[in-house]
Amino acid sequence: MNLQSVDLVAIGPPLVVAIAALVILLADLALPASSRRRREQVATGLMLAGLLAGLGWAIGLAASGPRSTFCSAAGCYYVADGFTAYFQILVLAAVALVVLLARSSLTDDDLPPGEFGF
C-alpha cells in the first residue's frame, strides 16, 4: 500500500473556507431561532472571517515557492504556485465583496443565515 503525504499548507485556502462553512452551519444550529438578527450577524461575521483567513493564507502561499501535494508515480495532482494563489486571491476577494453586498438581501428576503453562509 502506497501512502502519500498531504501538504496541508498547499491546500490551506480552500480547506479553511470549507471548515468555516461547517462552523457557520453549526453556529446557526446552536443559536436560538428567535434571535434572527443575532444569527445573521454571526453568520456574516463567520463568513467574512473564513474568507479573510483563506485570503491571508493564499497571499502567504503566493509569497512562498510552489508546493505540490497528492503526488503519485504519475505526477502531482495539485500544485499550489503563483498562478493558483492569484486565482484563489481573486475568487476569495470577489466572494468577500458579494458577502458584503448581500447583507441587505439576507435581512430583506428572509433567507436562512446559516444556509446562506454555507
Rounded CA separation 74/93 (Å): 34
Q: What is the pLDDT of residue 111?
A: 79
Residue 106, pLDDT score: 77
Q: Where are the beta strands (DSSP E) in 24-95?
A: 67-72, 75-80
Q: What is the pLDDT along the chain (118 residues), one digit of tens a residue?
A: 455 678 888 899 999 999 999 999 999 889 887 888 888 889 999 999 999 999 999 999 988 888 888 887 777 888 888 899 999 999 999 999 999 998 888 777 777 888 888 8
pLDDT at 18: 95
> In which element (H, E) is residue 47 found?
helix 36-63
Q: What is the pTM of this model?
A: 0.84
